Amino acid sequence: MTAVSALAKYAPRYRLQIGEPTGSVWLRVDRILEPGGPELTELLKRDDEASCHRTAHANALSMLSFYAGRAPATALLLWALEGRVLDVRPENLWVRPHEGHGIAEVAVRSVDFLPGGLETLYDVVLRQHLLPLAEELHRRTRAGLRQVNGGVAAGCAMGFCAATRDEITVDPAYLLERWQAFVAKAPGGLARLGDVEIAAGKLVYLRNTCCLYYTSEVGNGTLCGSCCLTPRDERLTAYEGGRPIVTV
């Protein structure tokens, strides 16, 4: 088992198919990023049908939060654990959408590593991928750029947090240090858009932006566990085992 394949033991989101996939159900990431392209239109349509959003910008924010929490997750955790940067440049990465929310599977052309460390990771995950996607969603739907970047930040945070949640976990304190190193100088101002904390022995994310999921018909007014509309101390209390808050 390769180091990349072994990451799936921490959570399903880190499972990565190796090799170029076939079939129309798979979308290559560089095509998702094409301005006005049909692949991104399809992702937005699926999320909208799953949630029945009331506005186009809420649709964009919801879709991006789910997407960013899955597509780069393996590369983020691999860097956190080993300091290596998997070649997940957009032309080497595919995603298979769920019928509704988010991404069911992610595939990479091959297990290759790029020279460099954190700056290289910023380049392949943020500058070439998630931040241009946020810009395109901003252009299409007029969703505020800070809000869509908030979805990028929340998704990247889940690339770290999810590895502390199941029976086999990475030390939360260690991953918190790695998250702080990642976010400190991340492009897009991600450091200002939320915080990772340890609660009940796991990493949790506290957003400073809202994805507006609660405005959808399915959300029906229920706030996500990390939502900035809930006071910070109440979110931490809920994560520690107090009053439950639904996490999307």
Q: Which segments of the chain does DSSP mark as H helices, in order?
A: 3-6, 29-32, 38-51, 56-68, 73-82, 118-121, 131-141, 145-161, 172-184, 232-239
**pLDDT score, position 21:** 96
The phi and psi torsions of 240 (rounded to 5 degrees) equal: -80, -5
**pLDDT score, position 151:** 96
Looking from the CA of 215 toward its CB, the CA atoms found within 13 Å total 15
pLDDT tens for 177-213 read: 999 999 999 999 999 999 999 999 999 999 999 888 8
The token duo for 237 is 């209390």
Please choose, from the candidates 162, 160, 159, the residue with its C-alpha nearest in 3D space to the C-alpha of residue 176: 160
In the structure, what pLDDT confidence band is assigned to residue 243 with cuts at 50, 70 and 90?
A: very low
In the structure, what pLDDT confidence band is assigned to residue 246 with cuts at 50, 70 and 90?
A: very low
Given a cut of 60, is residue 245 above it in pLDDT? no
Q: Is 106:95 a contact under the CB 8 Å cutoff?
A: yes
Rounded to whole angstroms, what are the CA distances from 161 to 37, 69, 88, 173, 205? 32, 10, 20, 11, 8
How many CB atoms lie under 10 A from the CB of residue 5?
15
Given a cut of 50, is residue 244 above it in pLDDT? no
**pLDDT score, position 60:** 94
Sheet with 27-28, edge to edge strand ranges: 17-18, 103-108, 93-97, 27-28
pLDDT tens for 40-90 read: 999 999 999 988 898 999 999 999 999 999 999 999 999 999 999 999 999
| 3-state SS assignment for residue 104 | strand
- b (16+ CB within 10 A) / e for 31-57: ebbeeeeebbeebbebbbebbebeeeb
The token duo for 110 is 């091959």
Q: What is the 3-state secondary structure (H, E, C) of 224-237?
A: CCCCCCCCHHHHHH
**pLDDT score, position 100:** 74
Q: Which domains does the chain have, with CATH numbers?
A: 3-189 (1.10.510)
Q: Which segments of 162-228 does DSSP mark as H helices, in order?
A: 172-184
Residue with tokens 């932006």: 209
Q: Provide mean pLDDT across the span 113-122.
A: 97
Rounded to whole angstroms, what are the CA distances from 170 to 98, 126, 146? 27, 24, 30
